[in-house]
Structure 1
Amino acid sequence: MGPVFAVVLVFVGCCSNVVFLELLVRDFPGCGNIVTFAQFVFIALEGFIFETNFGRKKPAIPISNYVIMVTMFFTVSVINNYALNFNIAMPLHMIFRSGSLIANMILGIIILKKRYSASKYLSIALVSAGIFICTIMSAKQVVSAAAEHWNVSNEGSEDQGFYAFMHWLIGIAMLTFALLMSARMGIFQETLYKKYGKHSKEALFYNHCLPLPGFLLLSTNIYSHCVLFNQSTPVLIPGVELSVPIMWIYLLINVITQYVCIRGVFILTTECASLTVTLVVTLRKFLSLIFSIIYFQNPFTTWHWVGTAVVFVGTLLYTEVWSSVWAALRGPDAKEKKAE
């Protein structure tokens, strides 16, 4: 029951979370900060009540280590959401973040001096190629969209196209930085867990609680979006006869589904092997991507599909799903022959 329940939570929570994030971003592309803030507050409050028992439970890992981890986590979360303000389409955002394998491997080689098999290097090459294809195609779309918007015949349209491209390039740079920072955080977590043991729920709480003062730096942006959200179309909630701006409803559902998603992944990591977790998360990303393209009619060319396919094939190759499936198909006879 545990693993099945966790998989359901991951698919329902994470997929619906992406949907409501896109609903928010489509109307207000710069709302990443208020979304991040709301998610952090909700998860921190839940952790304060249920994990730390209203602050009475002492952390197993020293706070000083959490401060380092939190700095990285806060930076990654804010930059990932803020990048959506730089002409980054949601499908590209999802594909780009699927490149975490590349960042993990690169930093693993540099920092942990790890060595990998040939299949791992091949998988990373595939993921890199897929992301590169999607990124290049998206770059062309950004430039052409800007040219169309400003009308090619108008004077200065080339400058506007160049400006749109540079604006988009900043978003790509932000996603790249966040990807590397996220991988570095993963390595830092790995070393902490080896030293102090796994305390995922505790880490989840401190990762969301300690950064809250940092949002003071973003308070102006958060407040301005509160005002914008208040001005959105009101929706009558049945039963209570209460009218609420629709963007606040989207935000509330986004926050709840984010929590469901995180909880699902947490349960999955405790119930299943890491291979299963990676496979489930990868499939979830793929479904989210498909839904985003179809439902929101995001522009997606044939080359985007090629790039996406290459990314997911590379991801599955990295997790050794193919060899596991092949071993399962061959059955126990193969194992017996090996034993002989």
Structure 2
Amino acid sequence: MSVPSIGAQGAANVAVTVVREQTKSNVFDFRGPLSQPMGNPVKLFFYAGGIFLTYFYYGVLHEEITRTKYGPKKEMFVHAQSLLLFSCVMNVLFAKLMLSTFLKQGVDTTRRSYYIISSFTYLGAMLASTICLQFVNYTTQVVGKSCKPIPVMVLGVLIGGKRYALSKYLSILVVVLGVALFIYKDGKAAAKASSQGSMGKGELLLLVSLALDGLTGAVQERMKSEHQTKSGHMMVMTNLWSVVYLVIAQLFTWEILDFIHFIQKYPSLITNILLFSITGALGQTLIFRTVSEFGPLPCSVVTTTRKFFTVLGSVIIFNNPLGTRQWIGVVLVFSGLIADAYFSKSSKAKK
């Protein structure tokens, strides 16, 4: 169940991006040559299956960790900083392994200030999307985070002066319509939402996460244009600086002490958190391999389709039922995302 990743949303999360301004599972730009030939279809099937399985389990663990009520007091896991610290450390280790084996990308010349800024917004997006799970279910988070191309596109126009094809706007319009159908509240849900305010905390945190995703994408675009930053270096340095930020935050909040106390009370969490971190990092590794060997379009279709099954899994496993209108919204969202990936690839291939 993203993102991708981040990740998870994330870690989410993570949550990974495959092509610039394209919907993807992570915030990183993992582009490969658009014109490269299709590789071994058996290997592609293996990679796709690996992405499905790792991120599906990642999403199950993410929802189980953050939405389970523990013990007789029905305590909730609220230690997002510590959870992301483990996840980012694991991402750094896997990225270092990739750069030293199959993904050798030379020397990184990117200015440190770009990494400092992008990792801050990247981490903020992951924190917001993780904390929002205390207020909304994983299905809502996945569908909401699927709007990532919208802030990326808006900031690209306003800040970067970019121009997009009509097909891009139409694809994103379909996504917006699908999300609107999905989150629209009627009847008792609308009355409850009205009594709590026009927007709940979960939805507000999703908006914050999306805005920070857009800022992250804008900074990464600058890194690409000025320094031709490679994806492997971007993954290592962004996660490494995120670890630095999280360690500094721990010095002020000492959340790690509450985290340790919590897992001592509920030791089953230790296994879940380790598996959560490993599956997220492994999923990012498989995305790297898919893009480098088969190109961004197959990977984008795989990761987008994976999100759909994430929604389906959340509905079945965690009993998050959807109405007819919401299912229509889900189909529109992922149809728009796949169309966006296809037309983005086609328009670039013509240049």
User: Do both proteins adopt the same fold according to a TM-score greater than 0.5, normalized to the shorter chain?
Assistant: yes
Partner of 1:334: none
What whole-Å deviation, never above 9, does each CA across 1:198-222 have from its counterpart, x for those lacking one? 4212211111111223224254334
Counterpart Cα distance in 2 of 1:139 and 1:212: 44
Residue 196 (structure 1) shift: 2.2
In 1, are the aligned partners of 2:92 and 2:240 still within 8 Å (CA)?
A: yes
Partner AA of 1:217 in structure 2: A
In 2, are the aligned partners of 1:143 and 1:162 still within 8 Å (CA)?
A: yes
What whole-Å deviation, never above 9, does each CA across 1:224-266 have from its counterpart, x for those lacking one? 233222212xxxxxxxxxxxx2111111110110011111122
Name structure 2 gaps, 5 residues minimum: 1-39, 69-75, 347-351
Tell which deviates more after alignment, 74-83 or 313-322.
313-322
Residue 323 (structure 1) shift: 11
CA 1:29–1:142 in 2, change beyond 3 Å: closer, same or farther? Answer: farther
Residue 131 (structure 1) shift: 1.1
Counterpart Cα distance in 1 of 2:147 and 2:172: 9
- Structure 2 residue 214 is the aligned partner of structure 1 residue 183: yes
Tell which deviates more after alignment, 71-80 or 287-296.
71-80
Partner AA of 2:318 in structure 1: F
Match of 1:193 among 210, 215, 224: 224
Identity %: 21
Alignment of 1:72-91 (within 5 A): 72-85=121-134, 87-91=135-139
Residue 297 (structure 1) shift: 0.6
In 2, are the aligned partners of 1:92 and 1:138 still within 8 Å (CA)?
A: no
SS of residue paired to 1:37 = helix
TM-score normalised by the chain length of structure 1: 0.76
- Structure 2 residue 119 is the aligned partner of structure 1 residue 70: yes
TM-score normalised by the chain length of structure 2: 0.74
In 2, are the aligned partners of 1:51 and 1:201 still within 8 Å (CA)?
A: yes
In 2, are the aligned partners of 1:127 and 1:310 still within 8 Å (CA)?
A: yes
Counterpart Cα distance in 2 of 1:322 and 1:45: 32
Partner AA of 2:78 in structure 1: G
Counterpart Cα distance in 1 of 2:293 and 2:233: 18
Match of 1:312 among 313, 320, 334: 334
Counterpart Cα distance in 2 of 1:279 and 1:162: 40
Partner AA of 1:196 in structure 2: H
Match of 1:206 among 222, 226, 237: 237
Counterpart Cα distance in 2 of 1:284 and 1:203: 24
In 1, are the aligned partners of 2:138 and 2:314 still within 8 Å (CA)?
A: yes
CA 1:47–1:323 in 2, change beyond 3 Å: closer, same or farther? Answer: closer
What whole-Å deviation, never above 9, does each CA across 1:247-286 have from its counterpart, x for those lacking one? 1111111011001111112222222332222211100100
More helix by share: 1
Match of 2:261 among 224, 227, 249: 227
Partner AA of 2:181 in structure 1: I
Select the structure of larger CA radius of gyration.
Answer: 1
Residue 187 (structure 1) shift: 2.8
Residue 39 (structure 1) shift: 0.2
- Structure 2 residue 270 is the aligned partner of structure 1 residue 248: yes
Counterpart Cα distance in 1 of 2:255 and 2:190: 25
Alignment of 1:249-288 (within 5 A): 249-288=271-310
In 2, are the aligned partners of 1:137 and 1:303 still within 8 Å (CA)?
A: no
Name structure 1 gaps, 5 residues minimum: 147-160, 233-244, 325-340
What whole-Å deviation, never above 9, does each CA across 1:57-87 have from its counterpart, x for those lacking one? 96432322211221221211112112222x1
SS of residue paired to 2:200 = helix
In 1, are the aligned partners of 2:51 and 2:283 still within 8 Å (CA)?
A: yes
Counterpart Cα distance in 1 of 2:186 and 2:258: 30
Alignment of 1:10-89 (within 5 A): 10-27=51-68, 28-47=76-95, 51=99, 59-85=108-134, 87-89=135-137
